[in-house]
Chain A
C-alpha cells in the first residue's frame, strides 16, 4: 500500500497547464454569442454519406456538458423498419492528420439493416474541425474524439411520424490522463508473479487474490526466489561460455584463413 507521485512535478505541471487550456475553451464555448457561434460553425465541417429516406443525419451539435467536457452530439433519424446495432457503431480517426496542421477529424460509421428484407447499409458521418478563434490548435492537438457508447440512445418522440431518433455522442477528451497527481496502490507485485498457490497463503483455492492482501500477493518464497536467481545465473554462465567458445572458433578460423592467404602470397 502506498501513495506516490506518478510523474515528476514538471510533468504534472505540464498536464495541469494543458487541462487549463481545455477548460478555457470549454468556458468560452459556454459563453458563446451569436456572431462567434457562426464563426465557429464555419470552421466545423460535418459531412454524411450513405443516407437514405429511412436513415439519415438530422443534426450535429457542439455542446459543453455539465461534467466539464466538450462533446459533439449527432442525431440520426431512423425509420421503424430499420435496425441499428449500437455495439456496431464505430469511430475511426482520420490518418491524414499532421503534427504541423492539427485537426480533429473522425468518421462515425453506423451500420444498419432493414428488419423485413435484411437489406444492409452504412451511414458515415465525417467531422472535421480546423483551428479557429475559439478552438485553437493547442486545444485541437491535445484532445481525442471518444465514442460514448453508453450514451447512445434510441428516442422515439419525434413529431413527424414513424421515425425514431438515434443520438450518438462523441466526447473531445483531454489526452492527458497519465500524469496523475496522486495514485494509490490497490495491488502491487514488486517481484514477478509465480503461479504456485502453496507458496502464497493469501491466494484462494481458485487462484484469485484479494486486493486487501495486496502487499505481497503473488510473492514467492525466499527459497523459490533464490532458486530462480541461481537458474538465471547458471543460464547466464552457460551463455557466457558459449559466446567465449564461439569467439575462439571465430579467431581460429580467421587465423587459418590468414595463414592460407600468407602461404598463397608467399607462393606467388
Chain B
C-alpha cells in the first residue's frame, strides 16, 4: 500500500497538532502574530462593488484542524452558485515545500432587470441573468514557512473545502446583501495510516 509506518505518521500528526496549538495560542504574543501575518499573502482579483471578499480569517476550531475562512459579500443583483466554487493548487513555484499555495475561483453572474417596456405584457420588472457571461472572483493564498509554520508542516497539509460540513455556508444578511463563507481546511495529508481496520463488508468472490 505504500503506507508510511504508523509511528512516523503519528509523529507527523503530532507536528500538526503542535502547530495548531502554537497558532491558536498566538493571542498572547503580538510579535509571533505579526510574523505569521507577514507569512500569509492574499491576492484578490475580479472584485466589484457588488461582490467582494469581506474578510479572511485563520481559525482554530475545537475539531483540531486549521481553517482559513473566506467571507464573500454579495449584493443584490449578483448570483453565485456555491457548487461551482473551485479550489485549485497551482503548483508553479519550484520551491513548493517551503510554501503552500491555493486559489479559490468563484464564478458569478450579474442580474439584469427587464422592465415592462422591454417585455410586452409584463407589469413588473423581471429579474434575469445571463449565465453565458460569468465573471470570476479569485482569491489566491500563499502561506510561507516561518517560525510557527514550519516547511515540514506545510509539506504535509493539503487545502480542502469540506463541502458537506459547513464548507460553504450562505447567510442572508438583509434583503440587499448576503454573505457566503468558504472554509478551506488545511487537512493533514497523512490519514491513510490507521490504527485499526474493522471490516464492515468482507472480501467477496469474483462474479462468475
Contacts and interface: CB of A to CB of B under 8 A. Distances in A.
Interface of A: 1, 3, 6, 12, 15-16, 18-19, 22, 29-30, 32, 37, 40-41, 44, 46, 51-53, 56-69, 71-73, 77, 91, 93, 144-146, 148-151, 155, 157, 160, 169, 171, 173-189, 192-195, 206-212, 214, 218
10 contacts: A59-B199, A59-B204, A60-B199, A150-B187, A171-B191, A173-B164, A178-B61, A186-B42, A188-B54, A208-B45
A145 B61 CA distance: 19
Contacts of A148: 191
A72 B49 CA distance: 44
A6 B57 CA distance: 10
A219 to B, nearest CB: 12
Contact of A177 (B52, B183, B200, B201): B183
List the 4 shortest-distance A-B pairs measured between CB atoms, nearest first.
A211-B42, A193-B52, A180-B59, A183-B59
Given A183-B60, A186-B56, A195-B47, A62 B200 contact: yes
Contact of A15 (B46, B62, B185, B207): B62
A86 to B, nearest CB: 15
B16 interface: yes
Given A58-B203, A180-B60, A186 B9 contact: no
B: interface residue count bin: 35 or more
B38 interface: yes
A interface majority secondary structure: mixed
B13 interface: yes
B73 interface: yes
A176 B198 contact: no
A180 B44 contact: no
Contact of B36 (A44, A169, A184, A209): A184
A6 B59 contact: yes
Interface stretch (B64-72, B101-109, B112-120): B64-72
Nearest to A91: B164
Given A58-B204, A188-B55, A208-B44, A15 B61 contact: yes
